[in-house]
A and B are shown apart, each in its own frame.
Chain A
Amino acid sequence: DVKVTQSSRYLVKRTGEKVFLECVQDMDHENMFWYRQDPGLGLRLIYFSYDVKMKEKGDIPEGYSVSREKKERFSLILESASTNQTSMYLCASTHRSYGRRNQPQHFGDGTRLSIL
Chain B
Amino acid sequence: GNSVTQMEGPVTLSEEAFLTINCTYTATGYPSLFWYVQYPGEGLQLLLKATKADDKGSNKGFEATYRKETTSFHLEKGSVQVSDSAVYFCALSGNIIQGAQKLVFGQGTRLTINP
- Note all chain B residues with C-beta closer than 8 A to A50: 97-100
- Note all chain A residues with C-beta closer than 8 A to B89: 42-43
The dominant DSSP class at the B interface is strand
Closest to A97 in B: B101
Once the chains bind, are A102 and B93 in contact (CB under 8 Å)?
A: yes
Total interface residues on A, using CB and 8 Å?
A: 34
- Note all chain B residues with C-beta closer than 8 A to A49: 100
A41, A96, A105 — which one has the most chain B CB atoms within 10 A of its CB? A105
Q: What is the interface of chain B, defined by CB distance below 8 A to chain A? A: 29-32, 34, 36, 41-46, 49, 51, 89, 93-94, 96-103, 105-108
Can you sample 10 A-B contacts with CB below 8 Å?
A30-B99, A30-B100, A49-B100, A58-B102, A94-B101, A101-B32, A103-B101, A104-B46, A107-B45, A108-B43
Q: What is the interface of chain A, defined by CB distance below 8 A to chain B? A: 4, 30-31, 33, 40-43, 45, 48-51, 54, 56, 58, 90, 92, 94, 96-110
